Structure 1
Amino acid sequence: MSDKSVAIIGGGVAGATVAMHLAELGVDVTLIEKGTSLVSGPPICHLHAGGNLYREISTEQCIELLEQSIETARLFPHTFNHRPTVIAIPLEDPGSPDQLVPRLDQVKSAYHNLVSVDPRNEVLGSVADYYRLYTKQELLELEGCEQKASPLSFDDWMIPFANKVNLDKLKYPVVAVQEPGWSVFRVGATAMLSLERMANCTLCLESEVVDMYKSDNAWHIQFNADGELKSVEADFLINASGYKTGSIDDMVQQPRERLVEFKAAYVTRWTENQYQWPEVIFHGERGTPNGMAQLTPYSDNTFQLHGMTKDITLFEGGLVSSTSETSQPSLPNHLTSKLEQGWESDVMEKRTRGAIDFVARLLPSFTQANCAGTPLFGAQQIPGNDDTLRAADVSFAGDGYARLEIVKGSSALEGAKAIVNEWKLVDDLESYNSRSIEEIHPQTLSLKAGDIEQKAMQTAVERQYPASLAQYFGSQA
C-alpha cells in the first residue's frame, strides 16, 4: 500500500483509467465526476491501433498509438468488438492507396517486435494477418458469397463490402486491417465495477468542483454534491476534466495553450441489413464536402456514423483555442447548449439523415437506415495548437499538479504510468516499471465479461442510447 493520496477531477476515459491504475497500486484515490456514471464525452468507437484512420499523422504517432492501444487492450479485455476495419479511397479523393502500404508495413513490423518481446501483446490478431490488400477482381469474386454466422477471415468480413458497396467508385487496392472496435459503454462499466471493489478509492458522482487551492503541502478541493458543499484533501491533484481542463487550469493559475473541438457521431439502425459488417472507412479530405465517411457496426443492425464535413461530424465554429486571458477555449453558444442541455430533435434528425445520405453515396442501400437515437457527442481537447495531434497523454505544472491531455482514449494508461514515475507514487519504481499490466491490475482483470456487459447496457439505456451500443459485436477464433 502507498501512503500517498491523489484527487482526480473528471471521470472520463482518462480520469477513470488513471483512478483504476493508481487504486490498484494502493494509492488513496478520490475521483470527482459531475455525471451520474463514468466515461462519457466524445464518441469512441475504435481503438486507433496503428492510427490507420489518419493519413495526416506521422508514422511515429501511428506506432505510439499502436503501443498504447495494445496496453489498453490488455487492461480492458472485455471492451473490444472483434471485427476488422476496411479502408477504401473514393475516386474523387486525391489520395492513392499505394501511399498507405509503406506505413502499414512499418506498423506491422512494430507489432511483430512488440509480440516478440511479449506474446501477450498479440491482441490484434495474428501478426502475419495484420492487414490484407484487395484488388477489385478479388472483391468481385466475393460477390454472391454467403457470409458465415461467425466470420473470422478477412474474406468472411469482406463479403458485405463486396456485395453492397459501389466498387466502381473506388481506387484499388482496398485495405482490410486488424483494427478492432471499442465500446465506450463497456469501458465505463469496467471502471465503475473495478473502482467500486477497491476500498482505497472514493468515487464521488454528481459532484461539481467549485474551488481548490494548495496549503500546507496539500491540495484542498471543494465540490457541490447532494445539495451541499463538500471538500477533500490530497497530496496530488490530477486535472482530467476533458474539454473543461482549461477551467481547472484557470482555478489553479497554471496557464496552458490548447484547442477544443466539438464532434458528433450519429446512431442509426439498418433493419434490412443481413450481414455482419466490418468497420468501413472511406477516406476523404477533412472539412470538405468529400470528407472521410465512417461506418461502425454494432449488434442488432445498429451503426454509428461519422462524416468529416461541417454538416455532419464537424461543426462551424467547432474548433476553438485558448487565449492569453484564459486556458479554457470557448465554444459557440449553440454547441455549448448541446453539451449542457442536449440536442434539438429537428437538428438531430437532420444531421443523422445527412450522415446516412453521406455514407449512401458509396453504399447505396444504406439509404434504408433510420435515426436510432441521440447522437454520441462531446468536445475533445488537444494540447498545444496542432489539430492533427493524436498521441498525447499528460503534462505537469506547479507542485503536485498534472493534466491528463489525451486525444485518444488509448493514451490514458500511458499517462497514468508517467504520473506514477513523476510523483514517485510507489516506493520501488524499478519493480513497478518491470511489472506487467496483468500483475498490476488483479481487481480489474478479475471482472467477468457478462457483468461488464450488463452494467454497460444499463448505462446506455440510462443515457437514452440503444443497449446494442454496449453489447459485444464480432467474433474471435
Structure 2
Amino acid sequence: MQNNSSDCQKPRIAIIGGGVAGATAAVHLGELGLNVVLMERGPSLVNGPPICHLHAGGNLYREISQQQCLELLRQSIETIRLYQHTVNKRPTVIATPIDELGHPEVLLPRLQIIQQAYRQLVLEDARNEVLGAPDEYYRLYQRDDLERLRQHTQPEFPSDTDEWLIPFAKHVDFERIQYPVIAVQEYGWSVFRLAATAMLTLKQLPHCQLLTNSTLVDAKQHDGQWHLTYHDERAQSHTLVADYLVNACGYETGKLDDLTHNPCRRMVEFKAAYIARWSDENSLWPEVIFHGPRGTPQGMAQLTPYADGVFQLHGMTKDITLFQNGLTGSSAHSSQPLLPDSLQKKLTKGWSEAAVEERTRRAIDHVGRFIPDYSHALPAGKPLFGAQQIPGQDETLRAADVSFSGSHYARIEIVKGSSALEAARKLVAYWRLAQDSSLKSIEQQHPVSLSLSGSMIEQVAIDLAQARGYPIELAKVVGCQIPSLSF
C-alpha cells in the first residue's frame, strides 16, 4: 500500500480476520478514509459459520432476552441499509409443533414490542423502512386461513405475505402444528453476496490493503505501535507496522488474545447447516421455522430457501446442526477454547462424504416431520459449517459486538452477523479515529459500498460459490429486492 505524506499522518489499523466482522470493519473504516490493512488466512472473505438469515427481531430464539431482540432489530435494519444487495427479501414463517408445551400466542407480546420499536425507528428515519410497512411486520394465520391459501396458485412474483405463504400452506401437515402460525418480516441473507460486496468495496478504497492467503504468526508492541509478522501463501515472511490492532479472528479470537497477552473469557460452538435440493418444487418459499427445545431430538427445524429448489437446513439437535461436546469454553491457561479433535479436523480437513450424506439425510427427515413432501429432497453438496464464538459465559447470548483491552487492541466478537457494523462504529468512536460523522447517514458514510450494482455483486458471488464448491443457487438473488436507498 503506497501512502502519500498526508496519508502517513493518519493512523493505520490492522484487522486480523476477514469474516463478516473483520470485512465490515475494514469497509466502514476504509469508507471513512482511514488507512486499513485487512489480513485473511483464506483466499477470500466471509468464509465462516453458516449465515443465512437476518435476525430482524430475533424471533427464531424464544430463549433470548427482549433487549437482545430489540438490538438485533436495529442492527439488522442498519445492515440492510449498508448491504442492500445481499438480502433475500421474503418472510419467515414461525410454527409451533403440536407436541410443544408452549403455545404460539406466548410470542405475541414480544412481537408487539418489536413491531412498535420498528415503527419508531421508521418515524425517526424513513430510510429505516426496509422490512416493509411497520403495520405488516408480522401477521397471524389460523388454520382456516392456510386452508384457503392451499387452494391458490402462487404468482410468479409474490407481492404480499399471503402469496408467499401459499407453498407452505400446500405442503405443511396441518395436523402437526398449532395455530396461529406467525409470518414475520425477517429476511434471508446471502453469505456469498456479502463476501462479494466487501471484496468489491475494498478493491475501490485507495487506503485499504487486503492481504488474503496471509497468516499472522507474531504480534508485538514497540514504542506504542504494533509490529506484525505474517506468512504469505508461499510461506514467505513479511512484517508490517500498525497503530491499532483489531482481533476479528472468529472462533480463533482466543489465539490472538494469547499471543498479545490480552486474556478474555469466551465460548466456542461448532455448528453446521446442510444443503438439499427439492427438485419437485419450484415455488418461491418463505423461510420456515418449526420451534423446538434446543439440543433435544425435537430441536428447532429451519428451512431456508434459495434459488431453483435449493434449501439450507438447520436442525437444532446434536445429530444435525449441533454436535456432542460442540460447545466449549476458554480455560484459566488460555483464552482459546479447544474443540474435540473430531470437530477440529472438520474445520481444517473437511468432511467425509459419508458424514455429509448421513447428516444431510437427518436434516431432510427432520423437516419432513412437518412437510412430508420434503422427504423427497436430496443432499446437494457439502455443509456450510464453522465454529461460532460467544463472548463471556452465557450460551444464549446473541447480540454482541466489540471489547477493548490493553493499549490500542480490540476484539470484535459478534454472534450474529448483523452486529458487525455496530462493532465497527464503536472502534471509530472509542479510539477517536475520525471526526464525528454521526450526523451522516449510513448511505452518506458508505458511498463506495452503495454504488455497487446488484448484478455485479451477484456475479462475483456466483464465482465465490463455485470456487468454494457450493451450489451457485446459494449466491443468486431470490425474493423481492430491497429498493435502492437515497443518500
Q: TM-score, normalised by structure 1?
A: 0.98
1:92 CA displacement: 1.3
Question: Is structure 2 residue 326 aligned with structure 1 residue 326?
Answer: no
Question: Is structure 2 residue 440 aligned with structure 1 residue 435?
Answer: yes
**Superposition map of 1:59-138 within 5 A:** 59-138=66-145
SS of residue in 2 equivalent to 1:141 = helix
SS of residue in 2 equivalent to 1:214 = strand
SS of residue in 1 equivalent to 2:338 = coil
SS of residue in 2 equivalent to 1:378 = strand
Q: What is the aligned-residue RMSD (CA, Å)?
A: 0.9
1:126 CA displacement: 1.1
SS of residue in 2 equivalent to 1:175 = strand
Question: Is structure 2 residue 406 aligned with structure 1 residue 398?
Answer: yes
Structure 1 counterpart of 2:321, from 310, 313, 337: 313
Deviations 1:67-95 (A, max 9, x none): 00000000000000011000000011121
Q: Structure 1 CA distance, aligned partners of 2:32 and 2:164?
A: 41
Question: Is structure 2 residue 355 aligned with structure 1 residue 347?
Answer: yes
Structure 2 stretches lacking a partner, 5+ long: 1-6
Q: Structure 1 CA distance, aligned partners of 2:206 and 2:168?
A: 49
Q: Structure 2 CA distance, aligned partners of 1:66 and 1:57?
A: 13
Q: Structure 1 CA distance, aligned partners of 2:308 and 2:166?
A: 19
Q: Structure 2 CA distance, aligned partners of 1:96 and 1:399?
A: 50
SS of residue in 2 equivalent to 1:434 = coil
Q: In the alignment, residue 474 of structure 2 is paired with which amino acid?
A: L
Work out whether residues 38 and 209 of structure 2, in 8 Å CA contact, stay in contact via their aligned partners in 1. yes
Q: Structure 1 CA distance, aligned partners of 2:210 and 2:321?
A: 33
Question: Is structure 2 residue 264 aligned with structure 1 residue 222?
Answer: no
**Superposition map of 1:413-452 within 5 A:** 413-426=421-434, 428-429=435-436, 432-452=437-457
Q: In the alignment, residue 397 of structure 2 is paired with which amino acid?
A: L
Deviations 1:179-225 (A, max 9, x none): 11000000000000000111200100000110100001100111100
Aligned to 1:244: 252
SS of residue in 1 equivalent to 2:70 = helix
Work out whether residues 282 and 308 of structure 2, in 8 Å CA contact, stay in contact via their aligned partners in 1. no
Q: Structure 2 CA distance, aligned partners of 1:53 and 1:474?
A: 20
Work out whether residues 389 and 414 of structure 2, in 8 Å CA contact, stay in contact via their aligned partners in 1. yes
Q: Name whichever of 223-232 and 383-392 sits farther off.
A: 223-232
SS of residue in 2 equivalent to 1:35 = coil
Q: Structure 2 CA distance, aligned partners of 1:221 and 1:110?
A: 44
Aligned to 2:3: none
Q: Structure 2 CA distance, aligned partners of 1:311 and 1:152?
A: 37
Q: In the alignment, residue 340 of structure 1 is paired with which amino acid?
A: T
1:475 CA displacement: 2.1
1:404 CA displacement: 0.2
Q: Structure 2 CA distance, aligned partners of 1:249 and 1:306?
A: 31
Deviations 1:14-38 (A, max 9, x none): 0000000000111100000000000
Work out whether residues 20 and 417 of structure 2, in 8 Å CA contact, stay in contact via their aligned partners in 1. yes
Question: Is structure 2 residue 146 aligned with structure 1 residue 139?
Answer: yes
Aligned to 1:173: 180
1:178 CA displacement: 0.5
Q: TM-score, normalised by structure 2?
A: 0.96
Q: Structure 2 CA distance, aligned partners of 1:448 and 1:138?
A: 39
Q: Structure 1 CA distance, aligned partners of 2:270 and 2:239?
A: 31
Structure 2 counterpart of 1:208, from 196, 199, 215: 215
Q: Structure 1 CA distance, aligned partners of 2:477 and 2:167?
A: 20
1:274 CA displacement: 3.1
1:350 CA displacement: 0.2
Q: Structure 2 CA distance, aligned partners of 1:346 and 1:371?
A: 11
1:141 CA displacement: 1.1
Q: In the alignment, residue 274 of structure 1 is paired with which amino acid?
A: N
Q: Structure 1 CA distance, aligned partners of 2:201 and 2:54?
A: 21
Q: Structure 2 CA distance, aligned partners of 1:180 and 1:83?
A: 6
SS of residue in 1 equivalent to 2:46 = coil
SS of residue in 1 equivalent to 2:478 = coil
User: Quick one: percent identity of the two aligned structures?
Assistant: 56
Aligned to 2:29: 22
SS of residue in 1 equivalent to 2:84 = coil
SS of residue in 1 equivalent to 2:18 = coil
Structure 2 counterpart of 1:290, from 298, 302, 308: 298
Q: Structure 2 CA distance, aligned partners of 1:125 and 1:222?
A: 48
**Superposition map of 1:189-208 within 5 A:** 189-208=196-215
Question: Is structure 2 residue 381 aligned with structure 1 residue 376?
Answer: no
Aligned to 1:36: 43
Q: Structure 2 CA distance, aligned partners of 1:226 and 1:139?
A: 55
Q: Structure 2 CA distance, aligned partners of 1:31 and 1:332?
A: 30
Question: Is structure 2 residue 188 aligned with structure 1 residue 164?
Answer: no
Q: Structure 1 CA distance, aligned partners of 2:233 and 2:278?
A: 42
Question: Is structure 2 residue 459 aligned with structure 1 residue 454?
Answer: yes
1:455 CA displacement: 0.3
Q: Structure 2 CA distance, aligned partners of 1:176 and 1:279?
A: 9
Deviations 1:146-202 (A, max 9, x none): 001001211101111111000111111000010110000000000000001112001
Q: In the alignment, residue 451 of structure 2 is paired with which amino acid?
A: S
Q: In the alignment, residue 436 of structure 1 is paired with which amino acid?
A: S
**Superposition map of 1:456-471 within 5 A:** 456-471=461-476
SS of residue in 1 equivalent to 2:165 = helix
Aligned to 1:266: 274
Work out whether residues 307 and 474 of structure 2, in 8 Å CA contact, stay in contact via their aligned partners in 1. yes
Deviations 1:418-466 (A, max 9, x none): 010000001x22xx11111111101111011001000000000000000
SS of residue in 1 equivalent to 2:127 = helix
Structure 1 counterpart of 2:365, from 347, 350, 357: 357
Q: Structure 2 CA distance, aligned partners of 1:151 and 1:326?
A: 52
Q: Name whichever of 414-423 and 220-229 sits farther off.
A: 220-229
Q: Name whichever of 134-143 and 379-388 sits farther off.
A: 134-143
Q: Structure 2 CA distance, aligned partners of 1:69 and 1:231?
A: 37
1:330 CA displacement: 0.3
SS of residue in 1 equivalent to 2:400 = coil
Q: Structure 2 CA distance, aligned partners of 1:154 and 1:193?
A: 33
Q: Structure 1 CA distance, aligned partners of 2:95 and 2:228?
A: 49
Aligned to 2:478: 473
Structure 1 stretches lacking a partner, 5+ long: none
| Aligned positions, number | 474
